[in-house]
Amino acid sequence: MDAVIESLPLYWNGFLRTLFLSAVSGVIALLLGTLLAAARVSPVAALRGFSMTYVEILRNTPLTIAFFFAAIVLPRLGVKFEQFEVAAIIALSAYTAAFIAEAVRSGVNSVPVGQAEAARSIGMKFSQELTLIILPQALRTVIPPLINILIALVKNSSVAGAFFVLELFGYGRQLANANGDQVMAVLLGVAFFYLLITVPLGILASTVERKVAIAR
């Protein structure tokens, strides 16, 4: 227990880093994922094909491989970054975007057909129809699954700890190595900080789910 209390500042640093990684990757993944979902339902065949291929490949790639790719292959392509954090953000957001795209697409499918028909019959273009009518309703229905994906993102950010990014898991591993006699307390401390993010998000998801279920 002493080791945990002594290293609370380290935990706090790691916690903030984990939050930062998750927040930045989350925002990028939400934008990219929504774009991919829009491409998936668009009338242009090439966009549909590209989006489908991207989602299929990324969904079936282990996250560790995505990290390897960002850390090893990207630098060779001339994408230079000072810190591994950038690689971690690239890997996390590229990976998560595929799941968000799938969720948003299922949301688009859940919007009643009449909405799209009404939009078309008053003369909206596809882009107007999607941004003004379909996506706002679709995003609203998929908020609970999106939150679940973001929870998974927070947990997945722990993989970055293995790739030299000092976030919660990275610090936890260091502390566990340094305090061989108090491993259990150290790791439970790390778990506590993860639960501090994931449990409230989970409660939020189920509350929103109940609200949305009533609204529809």
Partner 1 sequence: MSSVLYDVPGPKARRVSLIGSVIGSLLIAGLLAWIISTLAQQGIFEGRRWAIFTRADVWSLIGNGIGATLSAAAVAAVIAFPLGLLLCLLRISDVPGIRIPTRIVLEFLRGMPVVLMMLFVLLVFGTNQFIAVVAGLVLYNAAVFAEIIRAGIQSLPKGQREAGLTVGLTSFQSRMIIELPQAVRRMMPSLVAQLVVLLKDTSLGYIVAYGELLRAVQVMADFLGTQYLFPIFFVAAAIYIAINLCVSRIAVWIERRGSKKAAGGVAKAEPAVEAAAAKP
Binding site for partner 1 (CB under 8 A): 40-47, 50, 56-57, 59-65, 68-69, 72-73, 76-78, 95-96, 99, 102-103, 106, 108-109, 111, 113, 116-117, 120, 126, 129-130, 134, 145, 148-149, 151-153, 155-156, 158-159, 161-162, 169, 172-173, 176, 183-184, 187, 190-191, 194-195, 198-199, 202, 213, 216
Closest to partner 1 by CB, 85 or 98: 98
- Closest approach of Cβ 79 to partner 1, in Å? 10
Sign of CA dihedral 41, 46, 49, 53: negative
- Closest approach of Cβ 116 to partner 1, in Å? 5
Q: Which of 150, 38, 147, 162 minimizes the C-alpha distance to 95?
A: 150
- Closest approach of Cβ 6 to partner 1, in Å? 19
Could you tell me which residues come within 8 angstroms of residue 171 by beta carbon, excluding any fewer than 6 positions away?
A: 7, 10, 11, 13, 14, 161, 190
- Closest approach of Cβ 156 to partner 1, in Å? 7
For the range 184-191, what are the long-range contacts, defined as Cβ-Cβ under 8 Å and sequence gap of 24 or more?
Answer: 185/1, 185/3, 185/4, 186/3, 186/4, 186/7, 189/4, 189/11, 190/11, 190/14
Could you tell me the two tokens for 50? 């590209």
- Closest approach of Cβ 86 to partner 1, in Å? 19
Closest to partner 1 by CB, 32 or 159: 159
